[in-house]
Amino acid sequence: MPTTPPFDLNEVDSALFRLACALRDGAYSFTTVTPATHERVNNRKGNEWATNLGGVFGWSRPFQIDILPPAIWELMNQAEVAVPHGEGWRSSLRLSSLGGQLFWHSAFPTTNDDAVFFGPDTYRYAAALQNLFASGLPAVGRAVDIGCGAGPGAIMTALAHPQAEVLATDINPAALRLTRINAALAGAANVAARRSDLLNDVEGDFDLLVANPPYLVDASERAYRHGGGPLGAGLSLAIVEAALKRLAKGGTLLLYTGAAMMDGTDPFRTAVEERLAGFEGAWSYREVDPDVFGEELEGDAYAEADRIAAVVLIVRVSE
């Protein structure tokens, strides 16, 4: 694991890098759960205040300075993540574990417009990527993660293909910033974080395109959560359309997303099939979890939906 960043970071971001290194050296780990589970656990008696590092950086609980090692408190201040909270303090970021790496992302609850997502979907997305890489891919010289968030897709791709140029794109500056820091933590020097709306602001074709876009209908239209279009599928369909135009010969798209099921049918799959009509190549589509974000079914947008499933679409262009 790197102890110095493989590329330049500014003073504040360097402190955030060193804070994560210090926590990693202390065997810190945290698995991020759903917002509903997070809230239930935090609401238990005795969990009002953090009593350890997991409570501070994982559960996003307020804390008193005396529970932290002095070096950790100093790094928090240098990294500007210690914010006043009532009679104590709170970390403005969470740090989560995935595949032996640590990832900074937004603290709970993720209510800000520029929140950077990381959660159970991320773990399912990572598993889909691992399966894809294990299946064997043609040589990957250039790859892109659309809507990179905290950067797990781009970083996993970069580590699996260290000779590839890997772009991590997002419209959220906060996401691009954390992706750079998380890539430094992973030692993924071949990741370049770029601002782009889909692929509109980057040039060229790609051998591999991966994405875990937002796929819900969010009343506040927060970028990390709102998929737009019919039943939240708008962004996912736009990624399919963009990929078909920008994948190189032999290139692969992996899209992890959600699909709202209506009266036993899958409108998202139908829309994908329409876009792939006449496509020269192979594709697969499967459910990896039949029931996610069940609480969304109580909202008007999903009043007629049976369930929301997590799905993985893989498209391979002919050579």
Which segments of the chain are extended strands (E)? 82-85, 88-91, 93-98, 101-106, 142-146, 165-170, 191-195, 206-211, 247-261, 281-289, 307-317
Q: How many domains does the chain have?
A: 2
- pLDDT score, position 6: 83
Domain residue limits at 98: 11-106
The reply to whether 145 and 236 lie within a common domain is yes
Statement to judge: residues 102 and 125 lie in one domain: no
Q: Looking at the domain assignment, is residue 25 inside a domain?
A: yes
* Domain contains 114: no
156 & 268 share domain: yes
DSSP 179-219: HHHHHHHHT-TTEEEEE-STTTTS-S-EEEEEE----B--T
Q: Which of 92, 72, 93, 94 is nearest to 84 (CA)?
A: 92
The answer to the question of residue 2 being in a domain is no
112 is a domain residue: no
Task: List 143's β-bridge partners, or say none.
Answer: 166, 208
Give the residue from 106, 128, 145 where a domain finishes.
106
Q: Which domain CATH number covers 154?
A: 3.40.50.150
pLDDT for res 249: 95
Q: Look up the pTM and report it.
A: 0.95
* pLDDT recorded at residue 242: 95
Residue 122: per-residue pLDDT: 97
The pLDDT of residue 221 is 73
- Report the pLDDT value the prediction gives residue 216, as an integer from 0 to 100: 85
Same-domain pairing of 158 and 299:
yes
- 113, part of any domain: no
- Specify if 294 maps to a domain: yes
Write out pLDDT tens, residues 65-108: 999 999 999 999 999 999 999 999 999 999 999 999 999 999 99
> Residues 260, 295: one domain?
yes
Residues 44 and 185 in one domain: no
Whether residues 35 and 93 share a domain: the answer is yes
Where the chain has pLDDT below 50, the residues are none
- Which of 52, 75, 106 delimits the end of a domain? 106
